[in-house]
């Protein structure tokens, strides 16, 4: 039975990396006019622009909105989750809150680490406190460079300083130990989007040879040394919870795959879903695949916006299908609730752009073999701009909705143009 399995890879992406919100309302001939200054942080439902009749264009998801010059649209960089619960933050009146109350609040919110798969933040901190010399690292250095966390967290500098000033003495009072709280990099340091072992010094575990790679083994070794590592996405979520009472209770994910894989397992790619706190990622794939397809979890990287990689094993023998118990409980990432399929129309007429899946559809359809895939894979020098006719077929065929036509205009041969 094992030999007959066909294993393929499906990616569950926090959706989307970017949303494009058009400011032209062609149905009426009116244009939306921007409200407020950009770039700025927005929540779901915030008004971004209005037309002359007062009709609003709202943000469908939380994130950071940019208004590129000379282009009649907004770019919304989302953070992969929906801030669900809201209320007064525990640290809005910090003198009335001790570390025990704060940890209990984090536990009740179900807030998990975005750095280590399925690890509750309360557990992460409590395990560090068991060490003789607990160390809490507030890191702005991201493993992935897809989101400029340094820029985002710079806008939250006052909250970070208040959180640090409260956290260290509160933890000392709770544990009776010399708890150390450090920020990486320091607030006046030159920012690097990469975190290396030498940056944390001798307390970083030997399992990390050079570049810091968040995974469960790293989390275990850090905890054994009394280190609670809070990466930029986790730190951002903690600030939302601590000062604004918001906890990420759900995230949008899109299942996507190489077209051959998608056809093989019966998955329409991409499909957009909402995944709730405490719900196994397996639920999405189980509901998307035919009955004779089985799921094996190969790995997960919940730090936004890295993909959740799933190995889908197909077999015609229903009795040979792995049971749900075979899926590790630590992939139960977000809240016990009912799964909802979110149709694209619910995203406020926004075009979803997912990361390139290297499917090759753009190269296959190109009539002049200009290699448009080189643009999507960040290799513009391999793109044959001298051959390109700007027909738009590559953009039309892309299952991830990547705006290849715009990349082509930027990289077009100036002589031919």
CA atoms within 13 A on the CB side of 321: 17
The per-residue pLDDT for 152 is 77
Distance CA 189, CA 326 (A): 45
Distance CA 256, CA 272 (A): 9
Distance CA 373, CA 407 (A): 11
The per-residue pLDDT for 26 is 54
If we measure between CA atoms, which residue out of 225, 204, 229, 202 comes closest to residue 134? 225
- Phi, psi at 162, each rounded to 5°: -65, -40
* Secondary structure (DSSP) of 17-41: SEEEEE-EETTTTEE-EE-S-SSEE
Are the C-beta atoms of 104 and 149 separated by less than 8 Å? no
Per-residue CA distances from 375 to 87, 107, 371, 405 (Å): 44, 44, 8, 10
The per-residue pLDDT for 253 is 58
The per-residue pLDDT for 30 is 58
If we measure between CA atoms, which residue out of 395, 248, 270, 265 comes closest to residue 343? 270
The per-residue pLDDT for 302 is 33
If we measure between CA atoms, which residue out of 376, 382, 379 comes closest to residue 407? 376
The per-residue pLDDT for 375 is 82
Per-residue CA distances from 235 to 153, 341, 411 (Å): 9, 29, 37
Distance CA 23, CA 69 (A): 13
* Secondary structure (DSSP) of 106-127: HHHHT-B-SSSTT-BHHHHHHH
In our burial notation (b when 16+ CB lie closer than 10 A, e otherwise), range 224-238 reads eebbbbbbbbbbbbb
Per-residue CA distances from 125 to 33, 95, 199, 285 (Å): 46, 21, 21, 32
Interstrand relation of 247-256 and 6-14 (parallel, antiparallel or unpaired): antiparallel
- Given the candidates 1.20.1260, 1.20.120, 2.30.30, 2.40.50, the CATH classification of the domain at 18-79 is 2.40.50
CA atoms within 13 A on the CB side of 81: 26
Look-up of token digits 């921007």:
34
- In the chain, what are the domain boundaries? 6-14+247-353, 18-79, 87-244, 361-410
In our burial notation (b when 16+ CB lie closer than 10 A, e otherwise), range 136-174 reads bbbbbbbbbeebebeebbeebeebbebbeebbbebbbeb
The per-residue pLDDT for 355 is 54
The per-residue pLDDT for 337 is 24
* Residue 16: both structure tokens together: 């989307």
pLDDT tens for the chain, 417 residues long, are: 333 333 444 444 444 456 667 777 554 455 778 888 888 877 766 788 887 777 777 776 667 788 887 777 787 766 554 444 455 677 766 566 777 888 777 766 666 676 665 566 777 888 888 888 888 888 876 655 445 677 778 888 899 988 888 888 888 888 888 888 888 765 444 444 444 444 444 454 443 334 455 555 666 677 778 888 888 878 888 888 888 777 665 555 555 555 665 565 555 545 555 554 444 555 555 555 554 443 333 223 333 233 333 444 433 444 443 333 333 333 333 322 222 223 333 333 334 445 565 667 788 778 788 888 888 766 777 888 888 877 777 877 776 667 788 788 776 654 444
Distance CA 72, CA 76 (A): 13
The per-residue pLDDT for 103 is 77
The per-residue pLDDT for 223 is 77
If we measure between CA atoms, which residue out of 244, 225, 341 comes closest to residue 283? 341
Are the C-beta atoms of 39 and 366 separated by less than 8 Å? no
**Three-state SS for 182?**
strand
* Residue 318: both structure tokens together: 């229903």
E strand or H helix at 8: strand 6-14
Are the C-beta atoms of 98 and 173 separated by less than 8 Å? yes
* Secondary structure (DSSP) of 250-306: EEEEEEE--HHHHHHHT--SSEEEEEETTEETHHHHHHHS-TTEEEEE-----STT-
Distance CA 315, CA 250 (A): 32
């Amino acid at each position: 039975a094992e030999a007959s399995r066909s294993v393929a890879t499906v990616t569950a992406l926090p959706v989307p990396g970017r949303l494009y919100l058009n400011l032209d309302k062609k149905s009426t001939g009116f244009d939306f006019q921007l409200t407020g200054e950009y770039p700025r942080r927005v929540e779901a439902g915030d008004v971004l622009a209005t037309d002359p009749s007062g009709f609003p264009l709202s943000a469908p998801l939380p994130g950071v909105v940019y208004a590129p010059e000379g282009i009649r649209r907004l770019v919304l960089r989302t953070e992969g989750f929906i801030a669900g619960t809201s209320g007064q933050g525990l640290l809005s009146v910090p003198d009335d809150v001790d570390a025990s109350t704060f940890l209990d609040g984090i536990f009740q919110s179900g807030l998990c680490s975005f750095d280590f798969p399925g690890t509750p933040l309360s557990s992460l901190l409590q395990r560090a406190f068991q060490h003789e010399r607990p160390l809490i690292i507030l890191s702005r250095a991201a493993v992935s460079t897809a989101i400029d966390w340094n820029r985002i967290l710079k806008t939250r500098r006052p909250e970070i300083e208040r959180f640090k000033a409260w956290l260290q003495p509160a933890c000392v009072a709770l544990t009776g130990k010399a708890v150390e709280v450090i920020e990486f990099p320091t607030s006046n340091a030159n920012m690097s989007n990469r975190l290396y072992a030498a940056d944390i010094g001798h307390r970083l575990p030997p399992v990390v040879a050079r570049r810091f790679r968040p995974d469960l083994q790293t989390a275990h070794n850090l905890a054994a040394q009394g280190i609670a590592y809070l990466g930029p996405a986790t730190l951002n979520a903690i600030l939302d919870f601590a000062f604004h009472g918001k906890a990420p209770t759900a995230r949008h994910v899109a299942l996507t795959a190489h077209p051959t894989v998608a056809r093989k397992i019966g998955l329409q790619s991409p499909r957009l879903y909402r995944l709730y706190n405490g719900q196994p990622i397996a639920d999405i794939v189980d509901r998307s695949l035919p009955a004779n397809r089985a799921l094996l979890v190969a790995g997960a990287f919940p730090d936004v916006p890295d993909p959740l990689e799933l190995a889908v094993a197909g077999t015609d023998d229903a009795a040979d299908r792995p049971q749900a118990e075979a899926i590790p409980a630590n992939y139960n990432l977000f809240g016990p609730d009912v799964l909802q399929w979110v149709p694209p129309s619910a995203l406020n007429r926004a075009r979803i752009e997912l990361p390139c899946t290297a499917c090759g559809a753009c190269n296959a359809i190109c009539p002049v073999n200009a290699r448009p895939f080189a643009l999507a894979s960040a290799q513009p020098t391999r793109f044959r701009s001298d051959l390109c006719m700007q027909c738009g077929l590559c953009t039309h065929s892309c299952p991830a909705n990547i705006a290849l036509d715009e990349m082509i205009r930027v990289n077009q041969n100036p002589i031919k143009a």
